[in-house]
Amino acid sequence: MALDNLKHLIPDYAKDQRRNLDALIKSSVLTQQQLWGCLLVSAATSRNDVVLKQVHAEAREHLSENAVDVALACTTAMTLNNYGFRTKHWLGHDFESLRFGLRNGVFLKPGVTQADYELWAVAVSIVNGCEQCTQAHSRDVQEQGLSTLQVWEAVKIASVIQAIAQTIHIETALKTENLPE
């Protein structure tokens, strides 16, 4: 299993993240598609090659090819929105009424249930730190019939994957040779 490879890369100082990942995978709060989609979008958003490759390999065992493609499309589409809307918020009132005006057609026909897509959008928005998108997609998820507990599970997945990505980044940086200290 690819996630076993990933867990072996996590040092003892971050062993709680191994346990957290195991607990999330065993959770019955989400469907398999929701769970593995959240794991995949969180890994893709983490910008950590090792984490993405390992999670992607395992997610492909649990998701259809279409769901994998939609999850990756969700990652890129939401990243575009997260950066745009977060910046509009920072820039203030003068920018609130401006349209973004960039193509993002994956929202029109996602290829998975709307609830699953919106849940994945929450996970991406958490990792990218966009408050407005996190709130908006959380409301959309609940309007689609999912519970606050299911939204919270996506938050936990995004958080754990980001913590693992940070750990792998730390370990990689500390093992890099020939750099001045």
Q: So which residues are the catalytic ones?
A: 130, 133
Closest-CA residue to 3 (of 22, 23, 30, 29)? 22
How many whole angstroms separate alpha carbon 111 and alpha carbon 130? 24
What CA–CA distance (Å, rounded) separates 35 from 52?
15
Name the one residue in this structure whose structure tokens are 């593995």: 36
Helix, strand, coil content of the chain in percent (nearest 5)? 75, 0, 25
